[in-house]
Amino acid sequence: MSVIHVNKENFEQLKKEQRPVLLDFYADWCGPCKMVAPIIEQIADERPDIAVAKVNVDDQPELAGAFGVFSIPTLVVMKDGEVVQKSAGARPKEAILELIDG
């Protein structure tokens, strides 16, 4: 699966996903975000059981604020439309998968 780029228009649809959702809050200028980006892409390719989405905090400040994002990258895992995990800072792939699989 490919990564979904989220905005406030398509976010409501994403909340209705039956599978877990991994949200990556990032900015194009953020160094740690650039380190995490290929890992997020890999997870999207390897795990069709997960909806993987990216939220650009500069373009979508309302969504970032709604999720209490104060530093980036911030990863949020949602199940059944509810936040079940949240982690700020760059993480290795294993730690991101642990967030998802809990």
21, 33, 44, 100: which is the annotated catalytic residue?
33
Active site residue 53: no
The values of phi and psi at residue 27, to 5°, are -140, 150
21, 30, 43, 100: which is the annotated catalytic residue?
30
Active site residue 30: yes
Exposed / middle / buried, residue 94 (Cβ in 10 Å: 0-12, 13-18, 19+): exposed
Residues labelled as active-site residues: 30, 33
